[in-house]
Structure 1
Amino acid sequence: MDGTLFQTDKILELSLNDAFDHLRSLGKWDADTPIDQYRDIMGVPLPQVWETLMPSHSYEEREITNDYFLERLVENIRNGEGDLYPNVEEVFDYLKEKDFSIYIASNGLKEYLKAIVDYYGLDHWVTETFSIQQIDTLDKADLVGTIIDKHDIKKGAVVGDRLSDIKAAKVNGLVAVGCNFDFARENELSQADIVIDDLIELKKYY
């Protein structure tokens, strides 16, 4: 979802600032919002995000901040502050016409993913959306494996922008399509089978 279908960048800084403004108002943060640090780790599960951004804070304080951040993300989505990447709907139409099934596998939380799916009507194309919350290991490869088992998938691809997506494809014997979008890293994309600069390029591979 993030950095592949949804332009998280458009609500990321806004929501992260909201969360750290809240911490500052409580006297629990006295520095700038660590937006660049978050960009570097974009794509990891949220518990790891807060461990990285708030290493000196307690587990409880991280949980409270995570909840507040999620509230702000969902509210900003519902207010239309975000956007899909170009050509998402055209590519989804094309894939459905070709009888491909589409699944979303994300490190995002259920409520956050539901807000995006509902706001943009993605259920029109997407068979099912899976959150990392649904598995104990918090490993994207295991999440993709769950989708494969549930829907009896024999052949397919994982399309994503980060190493966790590429590894999820490789571990499960699928094609790894790397998206050279906002949060992508060249050293990670080099491990993909295919690299695209725009989702519209998927049409020539399917």
Structure 2
Amino acid sequence: MAEQFSSEMNTLSLSETMAEQQVSSEMNTLSLSETMISLITSDNVVFKVKPSIAKEMGTVQTFVDESDGKITTVPLHNVSSSELPLIIKYCEKNVAGEINKAFEAEFVKNLDNEEVKDLFLAANYLDTKKLLDFTSQVIADRIENKSVEYVRKYFGIEDTEFLPGEEEKLREELAWSFTGVDKDEDEDEDADGKIDGDKVEDKIE
């Protein structure tokens, strides 16, 4: 009788221990899932984001995964405090399923060419795929049907040094590529390189 009672007590104790371990594990998992991730920009500004937003940024998520969730502060050496709020906003909208043409048109409406390029580079560094695809399309739209000189200026490419007559010869041989080119001073674009939001919305499919 005593042996049976002792056995039952041991079984009960083991069950309680297993239950406590399970609860502890669940609490740790819950705590980890609720932990905010701190992102430190290149100019030392800290932004806190939810794990669901961090997952949108492949580079950040890799840091977290490789540390088994122990790392909650991630330095972003190639992203400034100018670009990160925009990236966070885009990721929040994407997680909420609220990305559409109207939002994207408004999102870049007041960004000049340099700001769009910086946003593209930041999205590439963070491996934010949807935003990277979008900014790539915006850049493509902004240089569509532009002259060689405009594209050079847009990307900061210095003029290639041709020998006398070489450039003229190339222009003659590739004349087809210079047809249908818009004027550099496009009426849809102002001096800061900003493009009309309605035009962006029309181009984004």
Measured against the shorter chain, the TM-score band is: under 0.3
Name the structure where strand makes up a greater proportion of residues. Answer: 1
Normalised to the residue count of structure 2, the TM-score between the two structures is 0.24
TM-score (norm 1): 0.24
State which structure, 1 or 2, has the greater radius of gyration over its C-alpha atoms. 2
